[in-house]
Amino acid sequence: MKYDVFISYSSKDQKMVEAICAYLEQRRIRCFVAYRDIPKGVTWAERIVEALDESGMMLVAFTENFNASNEVNREIELACNDKKPILTFRLSDTAFAGAKKYFLQNLNWLDAFPEPEPVFGEMYRNVCGLLGKKPEEPSYIEDGSSDCAADVEDSADGLPDTGDCKKDDDKKDDKKEDESPDSESGNNDVRLPEGTKSVKKNGWILFAVLLLCVVAVLHFAFGGKTDSRQYLSKGTINGHEYVDLGLSVKWATCNVGAIKPEEYGGYYAWGETEEKDYYDWDTYKWCNGSYETMTKYCTNSSYGTVDNKTTLALEDDVAHVKWGGSWRMPTKAEQDELRNNCTWSWTTLNSVNGYKVTSKTNGNSIFLPAAGVRYGTLLDSSGSYGNYWSGSLLGSDNLGAYYLSFYSDRYGWYDNDRYSGRSVRPVSE
């Protein structure tokens, strides 16, 4: 199947559908959405029929607008006739009416009102179940963890098993309690007066509370800002600052389009050198309106004209075009080097979330803000999710390119659609 999911929706609900599509596609569920995947000049009805034939299932974005639309009735009927699995994602507390009641009332649905985003995870797992796929989290084919890294073992789905860290901590706490002088099972023969134990414990609790209060006062007194002096540059190249992390390349102190380490900067599709208002295949520079018509950086004839280029040329490298000199986008290998030879700590710099990345060799650091990603007109997950393009194409599937990806509790590499808008952190020899 070309698509995993055909999303049926009302055009009045496109903003929400963009968010649903972005969430699923970050998790390798390829979606068909009419606003993006029907090229100009193509007969709408003909393309809808083809897309349904090429999709594994239908996801209905059910709203009052959808309920009132007659056009979507044909889509639902076609899916039912083809015996496609249908999952209805109810975005409003609206009763099925007319043809929707006939087709959808006795099928699977999820209630996602009044706040849809918290239900996205359940939606994704149900989609995977209907497709016979194993659910996976985005971005962590090779992953690290910012906490308990030495003790974490990967679970079956490749995600950190953070429960092991807690268990180890619990064991340490139990051991400390057993070895304490007032432990009932210890070897110390001293007997404390009754009640002393609870007083001592309460005293420590009071001390801890007071200490937290002091920390909180200091935090708010200084505006919740991490001292940016720890990210001071070690030099400049062509007017742009860098930090020497003891790696094979020097890393810039800020993103393309930013002037401070914590600023998000610009969002660029892979191989494009300017920002834009809308990010999808229809506006992507290196194809003719769809992912099957690539005109550059293509190794598979199924996706367009083959040129076997797998690394961005400098004229298509936004870091080089914007900054000049020897600046460029890092390769996947150089991003792997950054992951494997630095410690990663989730932190806040001037009220901006991101990672402090510190060299294991010389202790120098850079800050990578969690700037989110752009799909269509949507800026998704800013403040909680960071992703940084490499200059390396995904060779086997030319739809994607590699990028460094992270959330607060894990980081790694991933690949995804080239048309999406992501951050760029330059490097230089």
Spatial contact of 364 and 244, defined as CB atoms under 8 Å apart: yes
pTM, 2 dp: 0.58
What pLDDT is stored for residue 202 in this prediction?
58
Mean pLDDT computed over every residue of the chain: 82
**CB atoms inside a 10 Å sphere around CB 239:** 9
CATH architecture, domain 3-131: 3-Layer(aba) Sandwich (3.40)
Compute the average pLDDT of residues 277-293.
91
pLDDT band of residue 215 (cuts 50, 70, 90) is low
What number is the average pLDDT over the span 239-263? 95
Angle of helix 120-131 relative to helix 14-25, nearest 10 degrees, comes to 60
- Give tens-digit pLDDT for 380-427: 889 999 999 999 998 767 788 999 999 998 888 887 789 999 999 999
State pLDDT tens for residues 185-195: 333 333 434 44
The predicted model gives 103-110 an average pLDDT of 89
Separation CA 186–CA 198 (nearest Å): 18
* Lowest mean pLDDT across 66-70, 125-129, 213-217, 286-290: 213-217
What residue spans of 64-195 are helical by DSSP H?
64-68, 71-81, 99-104, 120-131, 162-179
Rounded average pLDDT over 259-281:
95
User: Cα–Cα distance between 102 and 387 in angstroms, integer?
Assistant: 43
Task: For 136-148, write each residue's pLDDT tens digit.
Answer: 765 444 444 433 3
Q: In a 10 Å sphere around its CB, with 0-12 CB exposed, 13-18 middle and 19+ buried, how is residue 379 labelled?
A: middle
Q: Which residues pair with 31 in a beta bridge?
A: 5
Determine the pLDDT at residue 394: 83
Confidence of residue 127 (pLDDT cuts 50, 70, 90): very high
Phi, psi of 65 (to 5 degrees): -65, -40
Dihedral (Cα; 133, 134, 138, 143), 10-degree rounding: -140
Spatial distance between the Cα atoms of 164 and 170, rounded to a whole number of angstroms: 10
CA dist 415 → 46, 206, 320, 391, 394 (Å): 31, 49, 22, 12, 7
Tell which residue, 368, 330, 364, 329, has the closest CA to residue 348. Answer: 368
**Tokens, residue 417:** 């659609």
The domain limits of the chain are 3-131, 231-428
Q: What is the average pLDDT across 218-241?
A: 63
The CA distance from 198 to 177, in Å, is 14
| Beta carbons of 123 and 115 less than 8 angstroms apart | no
Tallying the residues shown for the chain, one arrives at 429
pLDDT in tens, 298-334: 998 988 999 999 999 999 999 999 999 999 999 999 9
Q: Is residue 352 scored above 90 in pLDDT?
A: yes
Q: What is the 3-state secondary structure (H, E, C) of 378-401?
A: EEECCCCCEEEEEEEECCCCCCEE
Which residues share a beta bridge with 403? 389, 414
- The reported pLDDT for the residue numbered 410 is 87
Q: Tell how strand 427-428 and strand 250-252 pair up.
A: antiparallel
The whole-number average pLDDT for the span 151-178 is 39
With b for 16 or more beta-carbon neighbours within 10 A and e for fewer, the 336-369 pattern comes to bbbbeebebebbbbbebbbbbbbbeeeebbbbbb
CB proximity list for 388: less than 8 A, separation 6 or greater: 335, 368, 403, 404, 405, 422, 423, 424, 425
* Segment 8-26 mean pLDDT: 90
Contacts of 341 (CB under 8 A, 6+ apart): 245, 246, 247, 359, 360, 361
Give pLDDT, residue 426. Answer: 98
Average pLDDT of the segment spanning 233-254:
92
Tens of pLDDT, residues 46-101: 999 999 999 999 999 999 999 999 989 999 999 999 999 999 999 999 999 999 99
Query: For the CA atoms of 315, 318, 319, 324, what is the dihedral angle to 10 degrees?
Result: 50
Kind of pairing between the strands at 86-90 and 108-111: parallel
pLDDT the model gives residue 285: 96
Q: Does the structure show a pLDDT above 90 at 198?
A: no
Closest CA to 336 of 243, 248, 233, 231: 248
pLDDT score of 44: 87
pLDDT exceeds cutoff 90 at 41: no
In terms of average pLDDT, the best of 227-241, 264-278, 403-417 is: 264-278
